[in-house]
Structures are given as structure tokens and as C-alpha cells.
Amino acid sequence: MEENGTDMQTESEQCVYKCARQKLENLLNKSMKIRMTDGRTLLGLFLCTDRDCNVILGSAQEFLRTTDSFSQAEPRVLGLAMIPGHHVVSIEVETESLQSQGL
């Protein structure tokens, strides 16, 4: 289906794609902390993502920004939450679980 000249290229593309997918799949169901553009942090299980980096976390809890000295320590339970990709500032994942998966 592809022209001969681009065969190599598509093969390496395929490899990159598979690699990326593998990486992401290994992260599934891991605890993840996502910081959003407004400073809030969500902690929950990584369930789903797509090309635009929209992320769905399960059993998510919301934490207010830590710099605010008055912010309550109590998190707010959100349940299933979707964070649009353009609002994701940083993503962290638990190392212990990462190591056990050998990533």
C-alpha cells in the first residue's frame, strides 16, 4: 500500500508509535498527579488519554495550590475527571510503581 521509498520511514514510524503506545500503556492504572494551569492538582488513577494529551483520571481528588497558606488540607473528591490537554502543566507518576514495571 505504500511506495517503496517510504517503506523504511513508515517502519521506523511504526516503531516509534508502538514504543510510545507501550510507554503509555504501562502507565495505565498508575497513580498520577496532574497540575493544571490554574494551580490545582489532581491525584488519581490514569485511565485514558489521546493525541491531544487529554487525560482521564479515576477516583480523582482535587488539591488546591500549596502556596496558599490557608488552603484546606482536605482534598475534594471528584471521581472521574477529564483534564483537557491544554490545561495540563505537569504530570508526575509514582516511581515505585514505575520501577516495578521496569520503565
Partner 1 sequence: MVMKSSCEEDEGAWGLGIPEKMRNNTDWVDITQDFKASCKELKLGELLHDKLFGLFEAMSAIEMMDPKMDAGMIGNQVNRKVLNFEQAVKDEAIRVKDLTLPELIGIVDTCFCCLITWLEGHSLAQTVFTCLYVHNPELIQDPALKAFALGILKVCDIAREKVNKAAVFEEEDFQAMTYGFKMANNVTDLRVTGMLKDVEDELQRKVKSTRSRQGEQRDPEVELDHQQCLALFSRIKFTRLLLTALISFTKKETSAVSEAQKLMSQAADLLPAIHSTIQYGIQSQNDTTKGDHPIMMGFEPLVNQRLLPPTFPRYAKIIKREEMVNYFTKLIERIKTVCDVINTSNLHSILDFFCEFSEQSPCVLSRSLLQTTFLIDNKKVFGTHLMQDMIKDALRYFVSPPVLSSKCSLYNNHQAKDYIDSFVTHCSRPFCSLIQIHGHNRARQRDKLGHILEEFATLQDEAEKVDAALHGLLMKLEPQRQHLACLGTWVLYHNLRIMIHYLLSGFELELYSMHEYYYIYWYLSEFLYAWLMSTLSRADSSQMAEERILEEQQQKGRSSKKSKKKKKARPLGKEITMSQAYQNMCAGMYKTMIALDMDGKVRKPQFELDSEQVRYEHRFAPFNSVVTPPPVHYIQFKEMSDLKKYSPPPRSADLYMAASKHFQQAKLILENVTSPDTEVNRILKVAKPNIVVMKLLAGGHKKDTKALPEFDFSAHKYFPIVKII
Q: Which residues bind partner 1 (CB under 8 A)?
A: 16-17, 19-21, 23-25, 27-29, 31, 33, 36-43, 47-53, 56, 58, 61-85, 87-98
Nearer to partner 1, 9 or 66 (CB): 66
Residue 57: Cβ-neighbour burial (10 angstroms; 0-12, 13-18, 19+): buried
Shortest separation between residue 13's beta carbon and partner 1, angstroms: 9
Three-class DSSP category at 74:
coil
Which string of b and e fits 35-53 if b means at least 16 CB within 10 Å?
bbeeebbbbbebbebeeee
Shortest separation between residue 101's beta carbon and partner 1, angstroms: 12
Shortest separation between residue 81's beta carbon and partner 1, angstroms: 5
d(CA 57, CA 32): 8
Q: For 63, which DSSP code?
A: E
Nearer to partner 1, 6 or 12 (CB): 12
Nearer to partner 1, 6 or 53 (CB): 53
Nearer to partner 1, 6 or 89 (CB): 89
